């Protein structure tokens, strides 16, 4: 029996996924978490085989949670299950240690196939995501996201910055000191050729990194 844990901050989404998985043979839900912090504690306690992880969550993002879980237990397989199909999310999450990447619009049969394949040690990327990743690498292909130039750690800091987190908060979440956080912030703005956090936040919204309703300062 494959033990699966759900990590998503929306109760209704977890309920829907749970109902789908309960119909699958040889797979069972052993736990649910609404953010990365809870997920880390539950991974320690429940020892799931596969974690279905959302990307955008409060307190700790799916990117950071994926990195921390894979460092905590190398045998846990993580499948990203999110609405985000565009770069830089797939590449960043796979680089952080995820074994699979699917959108929430995937069919139940594909989700079941992905769970069983990553449990068996394989990688699994949804066909739609694999196609757009491949096309972005071809001459004349779809333009890559400007966030592709950020490292995984810079991406983690950026995702917290655009959600209004201060340096001390970011440092506490990521285990960094204030000076290191400031250095990452400087590098991010320099790479993105932006002058401040507000412009970074606007760019994050334009490219689907952040939903406009997640920040109260924008119209």
Hey, where are the domains in the chain?
Answer: 2-136, 146-212
d(CA 211, CA 219): 12
Q: Are 27 and 115 in contact (CB under 8 A)?
A: yes
- More confident site: 172 or 15: 15
Query: Could you tell me if residue 27 is left (phi over 0), alpha (psi between -120 and 50 degrees) or otherwise beta?
Result: beta
Q: Average pLDDT, whole number, for the chain?
A: 85
CA 139 to chain CA centroid, nearest Å = 28
Q: Are 36 and 62 in contact (CB under 8 A)?
A: yes
The stretch 184-202 carries a mean pLDDT of 90
Within the chain, what is the greatest distance between any pair of CA atoms? 53
**Count of residues in the chain:** 219
Secondary structure class of 102 (helix, strand, coil): strand
- The CATH number given to 146-212 is 1.10.10.10
Query: What whole-number percentage of the chain has pLDDT above 70?
Result: 88
Q: Which pLDDT does position 219 carry in this prediction? A: 40
Q: Which pLDDT does position 162 carry in this prediction? A: 86
The mean-pLDDT minimum among 45-49, 53-57, 134-138, 187-191 falls in 134-138
Q: Which pLDDT does position 183 carry in this prediction? A: 93
Q: Are 159 and 172 in contact (CB under 8 A)?
A: no
Q: Which pLDDT does position 90 carry in this prediction? A: 84
Question: Is the CATH code 3.40.50.2300 the one for domain 2-136?
Answer: yes
Question: For residue range 120-156, what is the model confidence (pLDDT) as tens digits?
Answer: 999 999 877 776 666 555 444 455 678 878 887 888 8
Query: Could you tell me if residue 140 is left (phi over 0), alpha (psi between -120 and 50 degrees) or otherwise beta?
Result: left
Q: Which pLDDT does position 3 carry in this prediction? A: 97
* pLDDT reading at 21 higher than 70: yes
Q: Which pLDDT does position 142 carry in this prediction? A: 53
Q: Which pLDDT does position 218 carry in this prediction? A: 42
Number of neighbours of residue 49 by Cβ within 10 angstroms: 17
> Which of 108, 119, 126, 125 lies closest to 24, judged by CA?
108
Question: For residue range 75-122, what is the model confidence (pLDDT) as tens digits?
Answer: 999 999 988 776 677 888 888 899 999 989 899 999 999 999 999 999
The stretch 40-60 carries a mean pLDDT of 90
The stretch 26-51 carries a mean pLDDT of 94
Side-chain-side CA neighbours of residue 22 (13 Å): 7
């Amino acid at each position: 029996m494959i033990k699966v844990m759900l990590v998503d901050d929306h109760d209704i989404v977890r309920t829907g996924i749970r109902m789908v998985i309960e119909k699958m043979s040889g797979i069972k839900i052993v736990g649910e978490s609404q953010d990365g912090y809870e997920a880390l504690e539950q991974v320690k306690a429940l020892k799931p085989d596969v974690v279905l992880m959302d990307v955008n969550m409060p307190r700790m993002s799916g990117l950071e949670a994926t990195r921390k879980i894979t460092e905590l237990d190398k045998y846990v397989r993580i499948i990203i299950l999110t609405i985000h199909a565009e770069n830089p999310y797939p590449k960043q999450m796979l680089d952080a240690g995820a074994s699979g990447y699917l959108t929430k619009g995937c069919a139940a049969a594909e989700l079941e196939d992905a769970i069983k394949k990553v449990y068996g040690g394989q990688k699994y990327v949804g066909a739609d995501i694999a196609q757009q990743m491949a096309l972005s690498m071809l001459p004349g292909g779809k333009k890559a996201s400007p966030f592709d130039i950020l490292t995984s750690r810079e991406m983690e800091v950026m995702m917290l910055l655009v959600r209004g987190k201060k340096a001390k908060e970011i440092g506490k979440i990521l285990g960094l000191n204030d000076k290191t956080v400031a250095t990452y912030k400087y590098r991010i703005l320099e790479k993105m050729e932006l002058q401040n956090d507000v412009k970074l936040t606007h760019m994050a919204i334009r490219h689907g990194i952040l939903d406009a309703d997640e920040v109260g300062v924008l119209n």
